[in-house]
Chain A
Amino acid sequence: MQALGLDVLFKGSNLLRLLGGLWKALEISLIAVALSLILGVLFGILMTFRNPVIRALSRIYLEIVRIMPQMVLLFLVFFGTTRVFGWDLNAEAASVIVFAFWGTAEMGDLVRGAVISVPKHQYESAFALGMTKSQTYFTIIIPQAIRQLIPLSINLITRMIKTTSLVMMIGVVEVLKVSQQIIEANRMTSPNAAFGIYLTVFVLYFIACWPFSILAKHLERKWSN
């Protein structure tokens, strides 16, 4: 235990502090996930419109999000907008804005893909049976689109949880920052703390994301036919 630096975990409330830090990161990602799911569905429906202006704008938005690293977006919002517009934005709010901005684009693209993936003959057959437009959408198209959408959006959620580890770089005190504090504080008494603590953080993140991955894979397989 001593050699691997795992003993530090059980000193004082270190383990609790680590979990508190993880919760901070999860909290940010969950708020961002909730926002992106709602806004993403709206954005996705917007993207299926044939209006050229809407199409071009949503395409540009999507490309920006696809190409710019999330770190750059975080820097732009946290350092850039605060300097240029002179407002006061705390790091957590900046993170939520960035991750919601990113998640909305990704979610929107998934929704668009799911709606488009429903073959044309499904619409045509429904109309041929005398269904109205809203009946077709609510009883034929949306249920099929959702089946394709849910596993993919669960994957997006795990990606968002993983990416929130970046917020440490703009000064949010989350699990990595807490780890650094614990390691620094115990430098003399247990010099190997870095190994034990970072291993624990690694495992904690795995535990936070793995169930989602399993669920997504399970649903994908269940609904694949």
Chain B
Amino acid sequence: MDWNVISKSIPLYWDAMLLTLKIGWIGVALATLIGLVSAVVIHFRIPVLSVIFKIYIEIFRNTPLLIQLFFLYFALPKIGIKISAEVCGWLGLGLLGGSYMSEAFRSGIEAIDIVQRESALSLGMTDFQVMIHVILPQALSYSTPAFVANIIFLLKETSVFSAISLMDLMFRAKDLIGLYYNTAEYLVLLVVFYLIILLPVSILGTVLERRLRYASFGT
């Protein structure tokens, strides 16, 4: 293990990590948004829209992110839609994640007892109010374990971005190994930097899961 090599390449990895984090978290945010909207739409069985969302979920749940990225980045330009690699990255991640998040939120919404909805309606709340104030807060705490698992899954999936030549951690590691052949050092750094990204989320998830159990209070 050559510490000189390691200390010299830390700044390079740091930059790559920032890119991974940026695209990863934009993707997660987009995924959460898409997931919430589609879960609510499917729950209310809004005509046309809910069918579209269901088809979208099936398509994106059953294809790998790598293939989706190849399609977005290499295939779409041929029919005149040009998207930059970075946008492809978070768009792909958001679309893939949205389909997973949707399932997570939907199972949360379905877990809420119908009595909750009926009571809220009988108090004179509108459908929208019931959703925002009564159903979603409880549903979200039910969905938390799946939600955190999905975030970890999505941040892990960012490792395929190097295939569309984004300079992320994987790309950096592969590049440096090819240039200097210090395989062991560069792989150790790769592992360490992925731990920096993912360990906090994993720990936070465990803590959150423990604290958010109040949804099942009284049942």
Size of chain B's interface in residues, with CB distance under 8 A?
39
Q: Which of A70, A83, A198, A206 contacts B70 (CB 8 A)?
A: A198
Q: Measured between C-beta atoms, what is the minimum distance from A209 to chain B in Å?
A: 4
In the complex, which residues of chain B have a beta carbon less than 8 angstroms from the beta carbon of A210? 58, 62
In the complex, which residues of chain B have a beta carbon less than 8 angstroms from the beta carbon of A116? none
Answer whether residue B59 sits at the interface, using C-beta atoms and an 8 A cutoff.
yes
In the complex, chain B residues 108-166 whose Cβ is within 8 Å of any chain A Cβ: 152, 156-160, 162-163
Also in contact, A206 and B62, with CB within 8 A (given A75-B173, A166-B160): yes
Interface of A: prevailing SS: helix
Complex Cα gap A179–B163 (Å): 14
The proximity string for A residues 51-67 relative to B, scoring 1 for CB distances below 8 Å and 0 otherwise, is 00000000000010011
Q: Which of B63, B77, B79, B190 contacts A72 (CB 8 A)?
A: B190
Q: Measured between C-beta atoms, what is the minimum distance from A88 to chain B in Å?
A: 15
Answer whether residue B21 sits at the interface, using C-beta atoms and an 8 A cutoff.
no
Also in contact, A166 and B70, with CB within 8 A (given A69-B157, A72-B194): no
In the complex, which residues of chain B have a beta carbon less than 8 angstroms from the beta carbon of A165? 64, 66-67
Size of chain A's interface in residues, with CB distance under 8 A?
40
Q: Measured between C-beta atoms, what is the minimum distance from B99 to chain A in Å?
A: 11
Using CB atoms and an 8 Å cutoff, list the residues of chain A in contact with chain B: 3-5, 63, 66-72, 75-76, 79-80, 83-84, 158, 162-163, 165-166, 168-169, 176, 179, 191-192, 194-195, 197-199, 201-202, 205-206, 209-210, 213
